[in-house]
């Protein structure tokens, strides 16, 4: 993993700038709750013009998207989702010291997301909205590529899970692709205190704490804006590692996903509370994101989160 720090603007307002209304029209979902719900057009029609032939393999009946910012505990969440009978395909990203349990990321999906960012000259830690920067034609092509890659990696599976923190910025494209394939899309959002994720990024990537905080804010806004009408649950990482079965089952209930009781015994051995190595976090290391975390932590739906680009951070730090 590169330890290079992005040479991005330091102002939080740059990272969290509102998406341009004309861009929103092109990838918003008609009728969705959210800041653009009154104006969005038919995104599926705009994105469904490709004629590439997909591989002759059936897509899974259900896909669980595991969403969250970097270092937020999505790997633990995905391990538990996998134990609940969701396939991950392969090969998976290697196990590293920073994730002794494993990353549970499909390398082919990760490579696709990385290729999208690199087309724009971006890395995962850079500011900016990839969909806004991509333009209409590129978004159409990316949606087609997601369809093809998903069918390839998930061939023959009934239930499949996809995890990659980069996906929060491509969530509207994933939802369109899965709908066109006839796959029922659900999501589990992993929420962790921004100070904990910022400290973890500082330890792993030498990112300044303020940059890690900005990444958290950027990604929470991407989830809020991109979740659409997809059924989803929100799990708190600190609660998940303390009581994984109860917390994930509540998330599954909110997402409308049946729970497999026979998997519970195996799940109990997967999570060690010591995995919470950066502790719960305090606002000292995330002075602007901490208040937002307190506001959204009790909410069971990301659709109810405040508009970060409008209300956060306070004017004094814009």
CA gyration radius, the chain: 18
> Are 182 and 228 contacting, i.e. CB atoms less than 8 angstroms apart?
no
> Are 86 and 161 contacting, i.e. CB atoms less than 8 angstroms apart?
yes
* pLDDT tens digit sequence for 215-264: 999 999 999 999 999 999 999 999 999 999 999 999 999 999 999 999 99
| pLDDT of amino acid 36 | 33
Alpha carbons within 13 A on the beta-carbon side of 110: 16
Q: Which domains are delineated in the chain? A: 23-317 (3.40.50)
**Residues with Cβ < 8 Å from 9, sequence gap 6 or more?**
15, 127
Give 10-residue mean pLDDT values along the chain (318 residues): 38 36 35 32 37 58 97 94 95 68 86 98 94 97 98 94 97 98 97 95 93 96 97 96 96 98 93 64 83 95 86 44
> Are 241 and 275 contacting, i.e. CB atoms less than 8 angstroms apart?
yes
Residue 68 to residue 236: CA distance in whole angstroms: 11
| pTM exceeds 0.85 for this model | no
């Amino acid at each position: 993993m590169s330890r290079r720090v992005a040479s991005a603007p330091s102002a939080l307002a740059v990272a969290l700038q509102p998406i341009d209304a004309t861009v929103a029209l092109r990838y918003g979902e008609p009728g969705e709750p959210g800041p653009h719900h009154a104006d969005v057009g038919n995104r599926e029609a705009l994105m469904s013009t490709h004629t590439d032939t997909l591989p002759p393999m059936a897509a899974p009946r259900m896909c669980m998207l595991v969403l969250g910012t970097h270092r937020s505990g999505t790997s633990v969440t995905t391990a538990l989702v996998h134990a609940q009978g969701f396939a991950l395909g392969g090969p998976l990203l290697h196990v590293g010291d920073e994730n002794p349990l494993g990353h549970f990321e499909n390398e082919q999906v990760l490579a696709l997301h990385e290729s999208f960012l690199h087309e724009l000259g971006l890395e995962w830690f850079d500011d900016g909205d990839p969909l806004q920067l991509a333009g209409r034609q590129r978004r159409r092509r990316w949606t087609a590529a997601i369809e093809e890659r998903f069918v390839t990696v998930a061939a023959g599976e009934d239930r499949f899970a996809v995890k990659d923190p980069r996906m929060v910025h491509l969530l509207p494209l994933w939802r369109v692709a899965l709908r066109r394939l006839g796959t029922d899309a659900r999501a589990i959002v992993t929420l962790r205190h921004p100070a904990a994720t910022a400290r973890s990024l500082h330890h792993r990537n030498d990112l300044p704490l303020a940059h890690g905080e900005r990444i958290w804010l950027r990604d929470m806004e991407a989830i809020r804006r991109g979740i659409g009408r997809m059924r989803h649950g929100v799990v708190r990482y600190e609660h998940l590692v303390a009581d994984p079965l109860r917390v994930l089952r509540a998330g599954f209930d909110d997402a409308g996903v049946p729970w497999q009781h026979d998997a519970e015994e195996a799940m109990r051995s997967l999570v060690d509370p010591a995995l919470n190595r950066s502790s719960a976090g305090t606002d000292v290391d995330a002075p602007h994101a901490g208040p937002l975390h307190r506001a959204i932590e009790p909410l069971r739906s990301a659709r109810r989160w405040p508009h970060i680009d409008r209300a956060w951070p306070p004017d004094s730090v814009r």
